Amino acid sequence: MVVLRQTDSKLLTVKEAAQILHVHENTLRRWTDQGIISTFRIGPRGDRRLQEDDVNEFKSHIGNK
């Protein structure tokens, strides 16, 4: 069972999140596959969605390296 956090964070597509992080969409997909950044799968195709708060937090961490 998946438990979702209660948040007002917007769900972003892979394309939107990749633009925020300044990486290629395939890089972001690879990171989600590796568990580096969390994602949700929605719909029958299993499309990925990322929470905007998670993406911004991740961006602040990779920006500090």
pTM to 2 decimals? 0.81
Question: Does the pLDDT at position 3 exceed 70?
Answer: no
- Average pLDDT in the 57-65 region? 81
Please enumerate in sequence order all residues whose Cβ is within 8 A of that of 11, keeping only pairs 6 or more positions apart, or say none.
40, 49, 50, 51, 52
Q: CA-to-CA distance for 24 and 44, rounded, in angstroms?
A: 24
pLDDT computed for residue 10 by the predictor: 94
Domains defined for the chain, CATH in brackets: 11-63 (1.10.1660.10)
pLDDT above 70 as % of the chain:
86
CA separation for the pair 41, 56 (Å, rounded): 19
Is a pLDDT exceeding 50 seen at residue 25? yes
